[in-house]
């Protein structure tokens, strides 16, 4: 709240001193120093570098332009979020896109089409080209324009709401008892296309939110470079801090929704707040998959798991009947190593060991496969391997009926391993 009041007070003073709303009158420091200053008395609590400051960067204009590029990108992204939020969910998103459009140039509004036309693939390139064509004074104007800053918090808030709404839709779809397509989605030609639409929509909202967080980080990184090069005075840094504070408001909630761990964009308590000492975004490749995709296998397989839990033990019990009959009718004599059945037993045992290894290998790297599931699966695996190998040896030392029973025990253990993995993963 204090940050909002400070922003409003600054905007009112800016109107009084410049005759414009939030645009700010700016001028470079006289002499050869490359420090961006405002042409008005500094606000209380603002520190301004001395005129003779030696902190001059040869990349001054490039640094200012990079900040301007990040700001323009966020401005256009905010307009897209305000529009999509209002038209997509008017019941939870207020309509303020018309008022916000007044703060952007027509050329900036036209750049919005690139997000829609090609999915944003060339959006950043077109924004960069647009900013590069503008004068340095125009770039400075973007830095000190506070009119769009307050909307940055709505940018992340809206995209977070839309992402969570897409997640809820996916969860509702997966719990549905019928295969009927809702009337609002009657443009889907089949139920499968409806499911694909819901999943892709959730992924799209996730990408939008993730890209917004990356753009917030790029803004902070650009400010860091310019500030460390001595290109920004205290007054301009405070204006830029208001922009970053607005992005910070819902940043933790957004990172928690995406990565299951909350992160801050920056440490606002630090004097040099543009030099964050915290990790802002996890780079762990094991990052959580989009919920629609992850739950598609989890929730839709609940009925399958219940079915397998019944049929696997039932079939194993039924299989005991023919094995018992085979035991009673098998000749009580030791098998021979030159017997055709002996070589058939070897081939079957090798294939069984191969299938067991193929089944178990992926579980070595699965994060959910741990604890009791891991313990019992490997106990069954060792039992199955032992039975498979022993069945071959027993064939030539004991009556063939024993070899048959031991081999059956190995196959039974392998079936139980499959059931255990299905339950665990």
pLDDT of residue 182: 79
Residues in the chain: 425
pLDDT at 106 over 60: yes
- Report residue 17 as tokens: 């001193």
Q: Calculate the alpha carbon distances from 382 to 82, 378, 385, 408, 414 in Å.
A: 59, 6, 5, 15, 10
Summarised one tens digit per residue, pLDDT across range 388-412 is 899 888 888 888 888 888 888 888 8
Summarised one tens digit per residue, pLDDT across range 255-294 is 999 988 888 898 888 888 988 654 444 444 344 444 444 4
pLDDT of residue 313: 85
Q: Which helix (H) or strand (E) holds 26?
A: strand 26-28
pLDDT of residue 189: 79
pLDDT of residue 367: 52
- Bridge partners of residue 27, in order along the sequence: 37
Summarised one tens digit per residue, pLDDT across range 309-367 is 888 888 888 988 888 888 888 878 887 888 888 888 888 889 888 888 888 877 766 55
- Report residue 89 as tokens: 């969910």
Residues ≥6 apart with Cβ < 8 Å to 291:
167, 170, 171, 202
pLDDT of residue 301: 53
Q: What are phi and psi of 26, to 5 degrees?
A: -125, 155
- Report residue 164 as tokens: 């969570």
pLDDT of residue 219: 93
As to burial, measured by CB atoms within 10 angstroms (0-12 exposed, 13-18 middle, 19+ buried), residue 176 is exposed
Proportion of the chain above pLDDT 70, given as a percent = 73
Highest mean pLDDT out of 14-23, 178-187, 387-396, 414-423: 387-396
55-64, 157-166, 205-214: range with lowest mean pLDDT: 55-64
174 pLDDT tier (thresholds 50, 70, 90): confident
pLDDT at 12 over 50: no
Residue whose tokens read 């085979």: 326
Computed over its alpha carbons, how large is the radius of gyration of the chain?
A: 33
What integer best gives the mean pLDDT of the chain? Answer: 76
pLDDT of residue 368: 57
Q: What torsion do the CA atoms of 411, 414, 419, 423 make, to the nearest 10 degrees?
A: 170
Summarised one tens digit per residue, pLDDT across range 117-161 is 555 667 888 889 989 999 888 988 899 888 888 888 888 988 898
The gap from C-alpha 244 to its chain's centroid, in whole angstroms, comes to 21
- Bridge partners of residue 334, in order along the sequence: 399
**CA–CA separation, 65 and 242 (whole Å):** 19
Does residue 408 contact residue 323 with C-beta atoms inside 8 Å? yes
- Report residue 26 as tokens: 């700016």
pLDDT of residue 372: 73
31 vs 144 pLDDT, higher one: 144
**CA–CA separation, 398 and 421 (whole Å):** 34
- Report residue 88 as tokens: 């997509």
pLDDT of residue 190: 83
pLDDT of residue 37: 60
**CA–CA separation, 66 and 217 (whole Å):** 13
> Cβ atoms within 10 A of the Cβ of 17, count?
14
């Amino acid at each position: 709240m204090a940050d909002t009041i400070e922003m409003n007070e600054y905007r009112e003073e800016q109107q009084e001193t410049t005759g414009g709303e939030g645009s700010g009158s700016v001028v470079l420091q006289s002499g050869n120093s490359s420090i961006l200053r405002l042409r008005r008395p500094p606000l209380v609590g603002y520190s301004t570098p001395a005129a003779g400051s030696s902190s001059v960067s040869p990349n001054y204009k490039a640094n200012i332009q990079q900040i301007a590029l990040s700001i323009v990108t966020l401005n256009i992204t905010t307009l897209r979020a305000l529009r999509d939020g209002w038209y997509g969910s008017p019941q939870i998103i207020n309509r303020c896109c018309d008022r916000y459009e007044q703060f952007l140039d027509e050329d900036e509004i036209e750049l919005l089409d690139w997000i829609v036309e090609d999915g944003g693939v060339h959006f950043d390139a077109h924004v960069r080209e647009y900013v590069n064509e503008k004068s340095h004074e125009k770039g400075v104007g973007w830095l000190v324009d506070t009119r769009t800053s307050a909307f940055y918090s709505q940018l992340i808030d809206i995209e977070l709401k839309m992402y969570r709404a897409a997640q809820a839709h996916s969860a509702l779809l997966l719990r549905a008892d019928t295969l009927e397509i809702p009337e609002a989605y009657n443009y889907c030609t089949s139920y499968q296309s409806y499911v694909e639409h819901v999943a892709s929509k959730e992924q799209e909202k996730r990408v939008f939110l993730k890209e917004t967080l990356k753009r917030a980080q790029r803004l902070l990184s650009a400010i860091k470079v310019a500030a460390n090069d001595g290109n920004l005075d205290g007054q301009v840094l405070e204006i830029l801090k208001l922009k970053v504070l607005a992005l910070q408001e819902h940043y933790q909630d957004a990172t928690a929704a995406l990565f299951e761990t909350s992160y801050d964009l920056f440490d606002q308590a630090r004097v040099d707040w543009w030099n964050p000492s915290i990790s802002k975004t996890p780079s762990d490749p094991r990052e959580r998959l989009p919920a629609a995709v992850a739950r598609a296998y989890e929730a839709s397989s609940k009925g399958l798991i219940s079915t397998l839990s019944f049929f696997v033990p039932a079939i194993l019990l039924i299989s005991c009947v023919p094995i018992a009959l085979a035991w009673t009718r098998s000749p009580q004599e030791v098998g021979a190593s030159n017997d055709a059945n002996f070589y058939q037993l070897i081939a079957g045992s090798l294939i069984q060991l191969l299938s067991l290894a193929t089944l178990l290998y992926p579980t070595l790297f699965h994060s959910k496969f741990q604890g009791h599931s891991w313990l019992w699966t490997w106990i069954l695996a060792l039992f199955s391997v032992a039975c498979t190998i022993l069945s071959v040896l027993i064939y030539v030392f004991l009556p063939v009926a024993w070899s048959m029973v031991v081999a059956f025990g190995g196959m039974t253990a392998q079936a139980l391993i499959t059931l255990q993995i299905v339950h665990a993963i």
